[in-house]
Structure 1
Amino acid sequence: MMAKIILAEDDNSLRGFLVNALKKAGHIVKDYDDGETALEALQEEVFDLLLTDIVMPGLDGIELARKAAELDPAMKIVFITGFAAVALSNGSSTPAGAKVLSKPFHLRELVDEVERVMAA
């Protein structure tokens, strides 16, 4: 099932790998290197899935996901992070149903997780 994905990841090399893997799997991907520009894109068009790093300068992934969920409650959300335990602790309110993929992960795991989330 093809998905239209918005990706926010401040690590340029990782972002490139993720985009390539998702496009090879047949998805449409728009990628941004920070939360602010990703949010602007979310305000202008509809996406099936937000894939975002949690720890980014400026607007972080959790805040981006909150705003994305307000704009489109039907959008699926997957966080990618090396700091899942830290970022999602102390009762931070992440959108309901958001998934977390902890770094390091294989690109195949990412593609599989996207397909699982979209099928749900």
Structure 2
Amino acid sequence: MIRILLAEDDASMREYLARALERVGYAVTAVDCGTAALPLLENRPFDLLLTDIVMPGMDGIELAQHAGTIAPSMRVMFITGFAAVSLRGGHAPANAKILSKPFHLRELVAEVDRMFMVGEASEL
């Protein structure tokens, strides 16, 4: 089973995304900030880091940088509500995906499926 670490500071969005991904068969561990994600990354294997870019404290880009050191083969997908947010020129993983809010859950699931070549996007 593909394991996803979700870092999203908005509680309702975090719960919404986690439930949607779990419904289609992904194992999701959800945290409210980057600093809460770090110990999990150090102690458990994850296949995907799905993180909001703009979060208090450690933002998603910094979290992805730490994750790249801890688990270099883990995939990264950023979600953001700020279309103008830059990934600070090369400081994010080269293979990272970006999904801009608002998005439909089908889009999210399709992008995650594509990252793991699961086949046709799951139905929501």
User: Which TM-score tier does this pair reach, normalised by the shorter chain?
Assistant: over 0.9
Aligned length: 118
Aligned to 2:112: 114
**Higher helix fraction (1 or 2):** 1
**Is the contact made by 1:5 and 1:49 (CA closer than 8 Å) also made in structure 2?**
yes
* Matches of 1:87 and 1:39, distance apart in 2: 23
What residue is the counterpart of 1:31 in the other structure? Answer: 30
Q: CA deviation at 1:92?
A: 4.9
Q: Select the structure with the greater relative contact order (CA < 8 A; seq sep ≥ 6).
A: 1
| Aligned counterpart, 1:60 | 59
- Quote how far apart the aligned CAs of 1:86 are: 2.0
| Alignment-derived partner of residue 91 in structure 2 | 93
Match of 1:114, SS?
Answer: helix
**Corresponding residue for 2:69?**
70
Q: Percent identity?
A: 58
User: Structure 1 pair 84/98, CA: closer, same or farther in 2 (3 Å)?
Assistant: farther
Residue 84 of structure 1: CA displacement? 4.1
Q: Distance in 2 between matches of 1:92 and 1:57?
A: 21
Unpaired segments of 5 or more residues in structure 1? none
Relative to the length of structure 1, the TM-score reads: 0.93
* Structure 1 residue 39: Cα displacement: 1.1
Structure 1 CA distance for aligned equivalents of residues 48 and 85 of structure 2 = 23
What amino acid does structure 2 have at the position aligned with 1:119? M
Task: Quote the Cα distance in structure 2 between the aligned partners of 1:112 and 1:42.
Answer: 24
Q: Shift in Å at residue 85 of structure 1?
A: 2.8
Structure 1 segments of 4+ aligned residues over 6 angstroms from their partners: none
TM-score, normalised relative to structure 2: 0.90
For 1:82 and 1:19, locate their aligned partners in 2 and report how far apart those are by CA, in whole Å: 17
Q: Using the alignment, how far apart are the partners of 2:84 and 2:96 within structure 1?
A: 14
SS at match of 1:119: coil
Q: Does 1:104 align with 2:106?
A: no
Unaligned runs of 5+ in 2: 119-124
